[in-house]
Amino acid sequence: MIRKDIIEKLPYAKPFLFVDEILELDDNHIVGSYTFLKDEYFYEGHFKDNPITPGVILTECMAQIGMACFGIHLLRDAWDQEQWSVAMTSSEVNFYKPVFPGEKVIVKAEKVYFRFNKLKCNVVMYNTKEVIVAKGVVAGIAFQNKDES
C-alpha cells in the first residue's frame, strides 16, 4: 500500500484530518507530519489574542498518524473503509511545548503490540526544531462495521 493511499483511507476529512504526509513506515514504526494552518477552526477563541493548538487536537494528530495510519498499514489488504472503522481506546499524553498556528509537527510512533486488531504505540510529537512537544501512549482498535442486512 502506498503511503498516500493510507491517508486517503482514513475515516477523517477536513476540518478533522490532521495528517499531511507519511515520511517513514514499516511494521514496527511510522513517522508522519502535519502543519497546523493559521485559519484552523479551533484557534478562534482558544486563548484570546494568542491562539495555541489545544492538547486534545495534538492528541488527535498523534492518534491519526501513530494509531490510525499505522493500523491501516498493519491491516493492509484486509482494510476496507466500507467494512472497517477505527476508534481510539485510550491515551496518556504529556505536553511539553505549545504548538502555534502555522507550525509543522512530526509524529513518531513505535508499536508496542498489535493483536486482535488492537494497536498500542509509544508516540512522540516534535516541532521542526526537533524539540519534543508531546509524548505518550495511544491505543486503538479496528473493528468491522455492523452489517445491517
- Out of 3, 25, 42, 46, the active site residue is 46
> What gap in Å lies between CA 72 and CA 62, rounded to an integer?
15
Q: Quote the Cα angle for 103-45-123, to 5°.
A: 40
* Rg (alpha carbons) of the chain, rounded to whole number: 15
Active site residue 73: no
Are 50 and 98 in contact by the 8 Å Cβ rule? The answer is no
* Active-site amino acid positions: 46
